Amino acid sequence: MGDMDPGTLITMTTIIISGLGIVLGTLTPAIVEARTAVKAIEGMVRQPEVASDLRTTMIIAMALLESTAIYTLLVLLILIFANPLVARFFG
Amino acid sequence: MGVETQNVIRLFGDVWITNTVTSSWVMMTVIVIVAIIMVRRHPATLYMIIEFLTDMIADVMGEEAAITYFPFLGAMAIYVAVANSFGIVPGVIAPTRDLNTPLALAIVVFFAVHYYGIKQKGVVQYLKDTFSPIYLIILILPLEIIGQISRTFSLAMRLFGNILSGELVVAVVISLIPIIVPLPLVGLSMFTGMLQAYIFAVLATVYISTGVQETSD
């Protein structure tokens, strides 16, 4: 790795981190959202009369949880398409 | 699908009007024209849409408040819903695909929360309610400011990220297999767009309702 130029090193690191990051960043929200859905459905089955309230709350909660995945995606998009470090070494 | 953000009209110096802005102008015209046609020809359909939106707001805030805040929140919901699915037209970019549009909408929501809160309760009472236990102001103030900024930011980012990722997935699949195969993904991205419009409107409703409600201490 010592004789590699910085541009290649940064590009390689970016690719590896992007692949890893999108997996880890979407895994957690997926699991947590699934738990939200399961709990909400259990509640709806037990008390069908509050189903519409539960649905609204569930969707809001899921949207808030999902924003962590969106943050991961944004950071990775910046890393891939607008990496400031690559611009410094190539531009 | 797969249209990039471009500068179209030069205002002055380095300030440009991008194609997302022009497409949102076209979109607004389309919404107004469709609304006029609906009022003339299909009032029942319009009534159904309004009923759905009022119910959505009433679920969070109650019937009376729903009618008060419907003009703002309903316009927000319709704008975002049409903007999200506007990218389906070939050669047209969805306005929400550019970060600037969701950010502008989120900032409008941010100011609307405080405007409605102050209008409902008066400046002094609103500030008193917001920084509720007054002896903890040193703790509450930074938390409140961070909370306000981060929720506005995440409102914009959520919409932008979802629409952008949906369109990128479709663009990647189209570049691999251009015929038939991307269709389910186009459907998925339209569904996501509708869901995100619903979430955007519901979250705006929740924020406004936390701004206007009376605290019970």
Q: Does B53 touch chain A (CB under 8 A)?
A: no
Asked if A25 and A73 count as a contact pair (C-beta separation under 8 A), the reply is: yes
Contact B165 A67 (CB under 8 A): no
What confidence score (pLDDT) does residue B141 get? Answer: 86
Nearest CA-CA distance, residue B168 and chain A, Å: 11
Cross-strand pairs, B155: none
- pLDDT at residue A1, rounded to an integer: 58
pLDDT at B216: 52
Structure tokens at B95: 């306005």
Within chain A, how many helices (H) and strands (E) appear? 3, 0
- The beta-carbon contacts of B43-50 under 8 Å, at least 24 apart in sequence, are B49/B78, B50/B74
Asked if B56 and B85 count as a contact pair (C-beta separation under 8 A), the reply is no
Q: What is the pLDDT of residues B109-135, one digit of tens each?
A: 999 999 998 988 888 888 887 777 778
pLDDT band at A39 (very low <50, low <70, confident <90, very high): very high
Mean pLDDT, each 10-residue run in order, chain B (217 residues): 70 82 91 93 90 88 85 92 87 85 93 90 83 79 88 90 86 86 88 90 90 68
pLDDT at A4: 73
The domain ranges of chain B are: 7-212
**Structure token pair of residue A26:** 């979407």
> In this predicted model, which residue has the larger pLDDT, B92 or A48?
A48
Radius of gyration of chain A (CA): 20
Q: Tell me, what's the pLDDT at A91?
A: 57
Taking CA–CA distances from A58, the nearest residue in chain B reads B199
* A60-76 confidence digits (pLDDT tens): 888 888 888 888 888 88
The residue of chain B with its CA nearest to that of A65 is B158
- The shortest C-alpha distance from B76 to chain A (Å) reads 17
Of A62, A80, A91, nearest to A10 by C-alpha is A80
pLDDT at A47: 92
pLDDT at A2: 62
Sheet strands (E) in chain B: 7-12, 15-18
pLDDT at residue A89 greater than cutoff 80: no
List beta partners, residue B16. Answer: B10
Can you give the pTM of this predicted structure? 0.84
For the cut 80, the answer to whether the pLDDT of residue A45 exceeds it is yes
CB B133 within 8 A of CB B189: no
Average pLDDT over residues A4-13: 81
* Backbone torsion region of residue B100, taken as left when φ is above 0, otherwise alpha when ψ lies between -120 and 50, otherwise beta: alpha
